Amino acid sequence: MSEQTSPARQRIALLPLDDRPVNVLLPGDVARIAGMTLDVPPAEILPSYRTAGDADALGAWLLERAADPATVHILVSVDMLLYGGLIASRTNADTTRTVLARLDTLREVHRLRPELPISAVSLVTRASNSNSATEEPLYWNDYGMQLHALGGDAHRLLGEVEVLPLDELTPVPADVVSDYSTRRLRNHIANLETLDLVEDGTLDFLAITADDTAPFAAGSAEQVWLRHWMRMLPTGREVLMYPGADEVGAILVARALATNARVTASFAVACADPEGLTRIPPYENMPLSASASRQIRAAGAVEVTEGADVTLVLHAPDPDRHDMFRGRPDAVDEDAVRATVELVRARVDAGERVALADVRYPNGSDEALGRALADADLLEKLDAYGGWNTAGNTLGSVVALAVAGVVGRASGTYDEEAARIALLTRLLDDFAYQAVVRVDTGPSVFPDRFPMSDATLVAEAERVIRAELTTFLESMLPADGARITELTLPWRRSFEIGITLER
């Protein structure tokens, strides 16, 4: 604890990945569970969908937070600091020289307050396997899947001595490949530079994460080169690299809470389907068990086999790799659902705190599991829950929420009401919305999956979704008087919602 501040005044400052609720509201939920205040930049300097944030103003905000003696930890998304947000990292034309100069902000923070911990996350740029420019350069509409394939093919050629001509690798026009590749090169150089920030002591912790990747992909090849330097640098083993993106802000908050309170949470990992632990989830490039272990370590926690503070129950990935974004699976694996329910019940009955990571499907939880847990009156007995987007996103959010609970209880700052609201928020978003309302009602209120330009359509979609989730909250979830006070579609599309709950 800083001698300059009292516990009531301590704050954590977060430069988030972007402005979406999972990157701003979820980290705030994690902080509140442990009784901590989280500072984030004002909305006017954050990005808004494809409009980049003000990188210079964001750097200045970070320096202001660092100068405040109440700030006990600085958390930084490097993509926000360097490019103005996640989408901007894939679309803007800032030069390598320009973005590397912005890293000096972190060196200046360290110079001003060398005792102030700085934790950071930097992403390996994705190459979405789709012909959709929703979050990519506009040429992704025409060449997205081909560019994704090019990265995979180039990865397979890593060991080859001969450099093949571009036209033998892809039919994509050279000017498009150049624009795409030079931006990747810039971002890769920035990731290499973050390793140097660990080596020179500027950063206390660094996670390098990757979303929407594959075993063979441009990003997976870049991770090979990053691992080389992690092996070569004395501090390299302290860097964690694993699948994930939008959950890392919450993970960094959890790590900061644990560091500040000098509490190390422990997790036991349990899965009703042991074979599921060896599966590589969709959009990722490592087995589930390895990803879970790295998420636990990133949160400043440890994995143990007995005597754990929390049991992390994993609902294993579907071997057929179904995606909730494309609708319900053709058939429910009732045996898998039953086995996970019984595992949760057994661990709860044994007096363990159970955090459930439903990684059965990408982009939404397993509806059958959610309903079965509700029927068994087990939802309200969970310490934390998650089931959204990729397996890494789910794992990180669940681990972060659970760590906050451990820290809060150990420190005497645990906010039970905040924990209950956080649990309900994830149940409403990941289960009720992503797996049920979005699948059933989404087609009627969203003309397509791209951001809607008509504000009237946006308002009507928000009204319908809020009404349906209210019914869900009152009829199935352990609401205990909680109500939805605000529901938004921050990027005017179906993919994410913002929920505010009170009771």
In the structure encoding, which two tokens stand for residue 446, read together? 């969203």
Please indicate, yes or no, whether residues 241 and 359 belong to a single structural domain of this protein: no
| Angle between helix 367-375 and 334-349 (nearest 10) | 40
Q: Is 405 within a domain?
A: yes
Residue 450 pLDDT > 90, yes or no? no
Last residue of a domain, one of 198, 230, 259: 259
Question: According to the model, what pLDDT value does residue 449 have?
Answer: 63
Q: What is the pLDDT of residues 283-325, one digit of tens each?
A: 999 999 999 999 999 999 999 999 999 999 999 999 988 888 8
- Summarised one tens digit per residue, pLDDT across range 457-476 is 999 999 999 999 999 999 99
CB 125 within 8 A of CB 184: yes
Whether 359 and 387 map to the same domain: the answer is yes
In a domain, 467, yes or no: no
Residue 390 has pLDDT above 90, yes or no: yes
Q: Last residue of some domain: 213, 230, 259?
A: 259
462 in any annotated domain:
no
Residue 375: exposed, middle, or buried by beta-carbon count in 10 A (0-12, 13-18, 19+)?
A: exposed
pLDDT given at position 447: 81
Q: Where residue 251 sits, what CATH number does that domain have?
A: 3.40.50
Contact 298, 251 (CB under 8 A): yes
pTM higher than 0.85, yes or no?
A: yes
Same domain for 241 and 269, yes or no, is: no
As a whole number of angstroms, the distance between CA 368 and CA 439 comes to 14
Where would I find the beta strands (DSSP E) of 148-276?
Answer: 205-210, 240-243, 266-271
pLDDT tens digits, one per residue of 195-244: 999 999 999 999 999 988 899 999 999 999 999 999 999 999 999 999 99
Asked if residue 84 and residue 69 are part of one domain, the reply reads yes
59's tokens: 């750097």
Domain match, 232 and 334 both: no
253 and 275, same domain (yes or no): no
Q: How long a stretch of residues is the chain?
A: 503
How many domains is the chain built from?
2
**Same domain (yes/no): 283, 208:** no
Residue type, 370: G
d(CA 363, CA 360): 10
Please report whether residue 393 resides in a domain. yes
Instruction: Write the DSSP symbol of residue 438.
Output: H
Domain membership flag for residue 253: yes
**pLDDT > 70 in the chain, percent:** 98
Q: 200 and 331, same structural domain?
A: no
- Pick the last residue of a domain from 259, 294, 313: 259
4 pLDDT exceeds 80?
A: no
- As given in the structure block, the two tokens for residue 136 are 């990519």
Is residue 470 in a domain? no
Question: Residues 402, 358: one domain?
Answer: yes
Q: In a 3-state reduction of DSSP, which class is residue 294?
A: helix
What pLDDT, on the 0 to 100 scale, is given for residue 2? 38
CA distances from 9 to 35, 70, 90, 256, 316 (A): 11, 6, 38, 15, 41
Domain shared by 286 and 386, yes or no: yes
In a domain, residue 143? The reply is no
Mean pLDDT of the chain: 95
* 197 and 293 inside one domain: no
pLDDT at 343 over 90: yes
Per-residue confidence (pLDDT) for residue 211, from 0 to 100: 85
Range of the structural domain that residue 431 is part of:
264-440
Tell me: do 332 and 369 sit in the same domain. yes
